[in-house]
Amino acid sequence: DVIKAAGPARARGHGRAGRRPGGPDTRGEILSAARAEFAERAYDRASIRAIAGRAGVDPALVHHYFGTKEQLFLEAMELPFSPPDVAGEILTGPLDGAGERAVRAFFAVWGDPVRRAPILAMLRSAMSNEAAATLLRQFARRSILSRVVAGLDLPDRELRVEAAVSHLIGLALMRY
């Protein structure tokens, strides 16, 4: 009988064989898998498909819970800010105030002890582990820097943004 051959999951129309549907701790399992995948492969090489495979779920379920790879990374790393929001704060307003807005946005996050803790942990990891440094660099470049660079109409804008971020990270290291 065709229904028996397809298996109970297929007979009820529930996904592919070998993949389980979302359960009570599926979200937590996906986060654990994402943390491991990002640690092993860094941000650029980690994929939703690989994370889903590691968690034993369909990639669509990862998208259902987290949306994009960037959103999954934010939750997996427990970052207390939204990169699009930070980039938007920096770019909203006249060009000659962008530097001041960048400093204010940066220290708004760093100035709050609760929000600072996970970022500081990530930064400390990046200082002592090359894989963590690569992960942080890739994520920052894709999630924040590229948005700010795209929104500026300046010569050498990428170099300017990277120099400003380097300076701000140096301040954070010295201060915190």
Cα–Cα dist 68/77, whole Å: 14
pTM score: 0.62
For the stretch 138-157, pLDDT in tens is: 888 888 899 999 999 999 99
Cα–Cα dist 37/31, whole Å: 10
Quickly list DSSP for 100-116: HHHHHHHHHHHTSHHHH
pLDDT cut 70: percent of the chain above it: 86
For the stretch 56-88, pLDDT in tens is: 999 999 999 999 888 888 788 777 788 888 899
